[in-house]
Chain A
Amino acid sequence: KQEVTQIPAALSVPEGENLVLNCSFTDSAIYNLQWFRQDPGKGLTSLLLIQSSQREQTSGRLNASLDKSSGRSTLYIAASQPGDSATYLCAVKPGNTGKLIFGQGTTLQVKP
């Protein structure tokens, strides 16, 4: 059974710092991995999707990497800003079917 773990559960950093969020999964046979952002009381916003054949994806200050063989993904946020404060969720798609399996999330606070 696929399980997704995110460490740390919470993180607080000063503005301007670069940071890394971690995601690990137990079964390397995934189709793709998606990183989301969730603001309090809101739905999920898709940040990046990495296909199983890819190693990384970049969007602005965000870079996500994928190492399928070791069952790990990281989300790198450069030059963090208070507006980056949110919960970040990673999710894997276990096959060419619909569902995503989510981690518990990392709640990030960026202090001005």
Chain B
Amino acid sequence: GAGVSQSPSNKVTEKGKDVELRCDPISGHTALYWYRQSLGQGLEFLIYFQGNSAPDKSGLPSDRFSAERTGGSVSTLTIQRTQQEDSAVYLCASSLSSGGYNEQFFGPGTRLTVL
């Protein structure tokens, strides 16, 4: 079956613009996660959803970052007024459920470059 998909695969934007990144989880997976991977910081957790609720938003670096999930499926990560330090690869993952011993399966990522 299809894995986790993300779009766009690459995004180049100018400082100060807003961007939206999309994630399509594996069908039937109720949990969805966003991570960020940058050279200096490694792979960092941002936020996760169980269904449409976000029990843990602790990794969002500032109030310029927000995410939503509707219909228990697709999620969108929005970054407002982008800064150069937002440049990174944004990875999405999904699992059957956020609880229990469920593996997380990752998408290919969106590479964001802020000029």
A positions within 8 Å CB-CB of B: 31-32, 34, 36, 42-46, 49, 51, 89, 91, 96-105
Known contacts A42-B108, A43-B108: does B103 contact A97 (CB below 8 Å)?
A: no
- How near does chain B come to A55, taking the closest CB pair, in angstroms? 15
Q: Is the interface of B mostly helix, strand, loop or mixed?
A: strand
- Could you tell me if B42 and A102 are in contact, using CB atoms closer than 8 angstroms? yes
Most buried by B among A43, A49, A101: A43
- Could you tell me if A99 and B59 are in contact, using CB atoms closer than 8 angstroms? yes
- Could you tell me if A101 and B107 are in contact, using CB atoms closer than 8 angstroms? no
Whether B1 is near chain A, meaning CB under 8 Å from some CB there, is no
- Could you tell me if A32 and B101 are in contact, using CB atoms closer than 8 angstroms? yes
Q: Mark B83-107, 1 if CB is under 8 A from A, else 0.
A: 0000000010101001111011111
